[in-house]
Amino acid sequence: MSDRDKLPIEIAFLVLYGIDRAILRRAAASAEDTDVSADRALLAEGATSAQHFYELLAHHLGVAYMHKPLPISGDQHLDNAMRVEMVRLSPNPQGLDYVLAPRGAGLALVLGRLAQGRWRDHERMAITSPQRLAALIRLHHRRAIVTAASHGLPDWNETLSARAGWSGHQRLSASILGCAMMVGTWFWPEATLAALCLLFSLLFLAMVYVRLLATMWSFGTISDPRPRRPDNSLPIYTIVVPLYREARVVPDLVAALRRLDYPAARLDIKMVVETSDRDTIDALQIEHLPDRFEILIAPAGVPQTKPRALNVALQFTRGSFLVVYDAEDRPQPDQLRKAVDRFERSGDDLACVQARLAIDNSADSWITRVFTLEYAALFDVINPGLARLGLPIALGGTSNHFRVNALCRVNGWDAWNVTEDIDLGIRLARFGYLVDVLQSSTLEEAPYRLKAWLGQRCRWQKGWMVTLQTHSRNPARLFADLGLAGGSAIFAILCGTIVSSLLGPVFVAGVLLQATFGPLLSPHTSADWAWTFLSALLIVSGIASVVLPIAVGIKRRRLFDTAIYVAMLPPYLLLLSYATWQALFEMMGRPHVWTKTEHGLAKNRVRPT
């Protein structure tokens, strides 16, 4: 029996076209190990390109290969475009009736009929690759794709989307509050000022004690590593990487994704690129990506945001689980395996696990060093503590792993929110889902230039404001969804973060003035004593809520050489206040505008080993 006869029928015909038998045997062995078809294993490993494979298949079957898009009939559904293997064509100059992209069992069936002499090509058909066929279907349905990506969530439930802006009740409440403040300031200025100070102090203290409580609850045992799962038991995993003006980092990104310890044939990697971003598209094509990668060009539409791109990809995902990575990310190679293990040891109510983000260009500037400390506090201390408390988590914009069915149930991301991650974490909680943290890290690049940092932080702060606006439209419903503890924690985190960023410098300046020229350090009246006590409480607890999580994060990340940069927190927080005021003004006029952060500019990124 010849080598060709021993090979799976899906790839055996390639021997006739000079493909090395050793390559085909390796693909057959990989297919058996991972329980996929031999053609998928061959193409996923990049042994040959999909275009070359299907060109040879077309030649072998004696039919044409479709290089360019052709019009398809109107009865082709958009659902599961990557699973479709044949579509009917509309009348076209080539006179073709069908285009076929067979895979797995379908490919074996076609080749089996050819071997038995039962293949008939009397129906005028062409062969193409699955990627080209899916792109053809998407082109035919581009209007529906754009509508679903931009308006799927608000059309389903407008109150859960930032598209709606301020509700009538919110406008009325803001008007009444504004009038009350004006009247109070005019007639009772001291009492009004005292009431406002008390209100803002309570919001700040609520955030402070949520952070301190999360820090205390972040201490716990780490689960023991479990035995490595066999490759054939792993589910298909979709990786979505939204890209915009990222040509500079494409080689490093592709290298990082290639390092992932997961069977290639069970990966579904979507590189989502905007139609106008020719440089990034060209950079991806230069990489000659294997079949597990798909360049998914998002049709033009508004708003042009990262969550809209994610929603485009969600419509074509093949995996049971999905993770979002940014262009500059370097996830630990075993992260997907850990996520699968975490999901499958939990109930279906666990919708998302957030990997821990860390900065790998800390040495670039003092800003990146403080940024590193900030990330260590948030992802290694605060988020794990909130998860252990069962409270909603403000997700990071990357390395969040989802159950696809849960993600679809809450209608994906809000295309109109510039911090789609925070919003989605809250929305999942409102639908009864849990979010947890994952004992795995992803390295990221932090902006080291002040202008870039301010632009990024302005977008983040604006997103917090937009998220607060969205989820406060109906406070009673929010508390009904999340319970008293969850609703209170969300309001404390959102309101406290915004208020402290806006008014923190004002408070510090007021304390200094009162200490220098007022009775703060030598109180006489009851009002003086109350102000002194409140100021001391705010200062001590505020410092503790910032420094303690950072101290724990330093220990857990072993960032001892960076610890001295805690001294740079005052100017860092002052810059944060400036970015927050800028975000407030943007919120009024440009709430949905996305400020792009440039990547690939770092000077001292730590190279992965």
Taken in order of first residue, the domains within the chain and their CATH numbers are 3-143 (no CATH), 191-219+235-471+478-609 (3.90.550.10)
Band (4; pLDDT cuts 50, 70, 90): very low
Res. 122: pLDDT tops 60: no
Tell me how many degrees the CA angle 605-607-609 measures, rounded to the nearest 5. 155
What is the C-alpha separation between 307 and 262, in angstroms, rounded?
Answer: 26
- Under DSSP, is residue 448 helix (H, G, I), strand (E, B) or coil? coil
Question: What average pLDDT does the structure give for the chain?
Answer: 90
Q: What is the pLDDT of residue 75?
A: 60
Question: So what's the pLDDT on residue 241?
Answer: 97
Q: What is the dihedral of CA 69, 74, 79, 84, to 10 degrees?
A: -50
Distance CA(437)–CA(419), nearest Å, equals: 19
State the pLDDT at residue 3: 46
Distance in angstroms (rounded) separating the CA atoms of residues 335 and 400: 11
- Nearest Cα neighbor of 235 from 268, 269, 270, 266 is 266
Average pLDDT over residues 239-254: 95
Per-residue pLDDT band for 93 (boundaries 50, 70, 90) equals: confident
The answer to whether the CB of 69 falls within 8 A of the CB of 139 is yes
Contacts 24+ apart (CB under 8 A), 542-547: 542/204, 542/208, 542/500, 544/208, 544/212, 545/207, 545/208, 545/209, 545/211, 545/212, 545/215, 546/377
Strands (E), 68-109: 86-88, 98-100
Provide mean pLDDT across the span 356-376: 95
Predicted pLDDT of residue 88? 82
* Digit-coded pLDDT (tens) for 332-344: 999 999 999 999 9
Q: Which of 346, 314, 324 is nearest to 410 (CA)?
A: 314
> In this predicted structure, what is the pLDDT of residue 120?
67
| pLDDT, tens only, 393-424 | 889 889 999 999 999 999 999 999 999 999 99
Q: For residue 222, is pLDDT > 50?
A: yes
Measured CA to CA, the distance from residue 199 to residue 195 in angstroms comes to 6
Distance CA 91, CA 88 (A): 10
- The number of beta carbons lying within 10 Å of the beta carbon of residue 284 is 21
Beta bridge pairs of residue 444: 359
The single-letter code of the amino acid at 201 is: S
pLDDT in tens, 482-523: 999 999 999 999 999 999 999 999 888 888 888 888 887 888
In sequence order, the 6+-apart residues with CB closer than 8 A to the CB of 234 are 34, 262, 263, 266, 337, 340
Can you tell me the distance from the alpha carbon of 133 to that of 128, in angstroms, rounded to the nearest whole number? 7
Q: What is the percent of the chain where pLDDT is above 90?
A: 66
Amino acid at 563: A
Helices (H) and strands (E) in the chain, counts: 22, 12
pLDDT mean over 3-12 = 78
Contact at 8 Å (CB) between 578 and 502? no
Neighbouring CB atoms inside 10 A of 299's CB total: 16
pLDDT tens, 428-477? Answer: 999 999 999 999 999 999 999 999 999 999 999 999 999 999 999 999 99
- Quote the pLDDT of residue 518: 81
* pLDDT tens track for 532-588: 898 899 999 999 999 999 999 999 999 999 999 999 999 999 999 999 999 999 998
| Confidence (pLDDT) at 171 | 86
For residue 446, how many other CB atoms are within 10 A of its CB? 25
Closest by Cα among 566, 514, 505, 559 to 536: 514
Q: How far apart are CA 47 and CA 171, in angstroms?
A: 60
Q: What is the bridge-based pairing of β-strands 321-324 and 237-243?
A: parallel
Q: Which of 3, 580, 609, 122 is nearest to 332 (CA)?
A: 609
pLDDT bin (cut points 50, 70, 90) of residue 609 is very low
Q: DSSP assignment, residue 14?
A: G
Distance CA 125, CA 117 (A): 18
Type of residue at 244:
Y
Cβ–Cβ under 8 Å, residues 363 and 193: no
For residues 5 and 11, give the distance between their C-alpha atoms in angstroms, rounded to a whole number: 10
Peptide bond into 303 cis (omega under 30): yes
The pTM for the full model equals: 0.93
Confidence check: pLDDT of 525 > 80:
yes
